[in-house]
Amino acid sequence: MTASLQGIQRRISSTQSTRQITNAMKMVSTAKLAKIQRSGDGYRVYASYLQNVVAHLAKAHLGDVSGTLLETRAAKKIGYLVVTSDRGLVGGYNSTLIKAVMADIQQRQLSKDQLVILAVGGNGADFFKKRGFNVAYEYRGVSDVPDFNEVRGIVKMVTTMYDNEVFDELEVAYQHFVSRISNEVRVVKMLPVTTDDLEAKEENPDTVPPEYDFEPSPEDVLEVVLPQYAQSLIYGSILDAKTAEHAASVTSMSAASDNAEEVINKLRLEFNRARQSAITTEITEITGGMAALED
């Protein structure tokens, strides 16, 4: 076998090994996606009930109840909680999100001195730190299917920083899971909480809100419920982002496997043509040698 044919065979073997790896990674990501979707279904039921309770309280004209999470302050510092992945192999998942965050910052004409970055995920943390942004908090290593106990420290830190006026508004930027083949970038203002936002999220805004007998006072009820509500929003964003990450990984690994298959087919065609050419050359040489002997 000629050196050229051996080289093509080695490339076919190498590409087949790559395809096996990407197929395996696709299967793993598919399993993780299915698991986190089941977890997300449970969270959404809880979040829906919590949102409705707080929305009903808002409709009961309790929007003037004092509380740090309800206070609208002069926006001297804007916080951006940016949720990216720790690893690559997820296509444009991270780059698309970061571009959207930078575009939002530029549109609002915010300087670095006005920004406080809170990064969940290594890609976002590394990006902003390398460019000299104020990364006041970073968290790496969110598990593949995070539960609230794991993320509790993150959401508690975020709300505490807001309470301590490290920033005056919080924008949460993440990839929203739409389907297995589609994600959607979202940059959403989550703090301070406003009664307009609460009423907009109520499932049935036309229904008459229930009557409440408060024990203890409305202020005490909101003091407990509002932090839970704000934390549920942040946790939900992280859970949503992680779901979108797994979907992006499935899509990316599927595309890589398809590309590897295409390369293998092309190499096989190239190998067959090269082998046919080598055989033709050998036949020509043998025929020529026999003709020379006959002469």
DSSP 113-161: GGEEEEEESHHHHHHHHHTT--EEEEE----SS--HHHHHHHHHHHHHH
Q: Output the domain CATH number for residue 206.
A: 3.40.1380.10
Per-residue pLDDT at 280: 75
Per-residue pLDDT averaged across 7-19, rounded?
87
Most confident of 33-47, 64-78, 212-226: 33-47
pLDDT of 47 reads 81
Whether the bond between 227 and the residue before it is cis, its omega within 30 degrees of 0, is no
Tell me whether strands 169-179 and 78-83 are parallel, antiparallel or unpaired: parallel
Cβ(138)–Cβ(153) below 8 Å: no
Any domain includes 288: no
The answer to which of 41-50, 208-217, 268-277 has the lowest mean pLDDT is 208-217
pLDDT at 203 over 70: no
Q: Is-above-0.75 flag for pTM?
A: yes
pLDDT score at 99: 95
| DSSP 8-state code for residue 212 | -
Please give the pLDDT value at position 288: 64
Domain count, the chain: 1
pLDDT in tens, 250-285: 998 998 888 988 988 988 888 888 777 777 776 776
pLDDT of residue 224: 75
Element (H, E) at 28: helix 3-57
Whether 7 is in a domain gets the answer: no
Please give the residue that has the higher pLDDT: either 263 or 212: 263
Q: Picking from 86-90, 117-121, 191-195, which range would have the lowest pLDDT averaged per residue?
A: 191-195
Task: Identify whether 96 is part of a domain.
Answer: yes
Q: Does residue 209 surpass a pLDDT of 60? A: no
Task: Report residue 218's pLDDT band, with 50, 70 and 90 as the boundaries.
Answer: low
Q: What percent of the chain has pLDDT over 70?
A: 81
In a domain, 38, yes or no: yes
Residue 134: which pLDDT band, with cuts at 50, 70 and 90? very high
Range of the domain at 243: 27-252
Tell me the pLDDT of the chain averaged across its residues: 83
For residues 163 and 283, what is the distance between their CA atoms, to the nearest angstrom? 85
| 180-196 average pLDDT score | 84
Q: How much is the average pLDDT of 12-16?
A: 88
Q: What is the mean pLDDT of residues 144-154?
A: 87
pLDDT at site 79: 95
Residue 269 within any structural domain of the chain = no
pLDDT at 277: 74
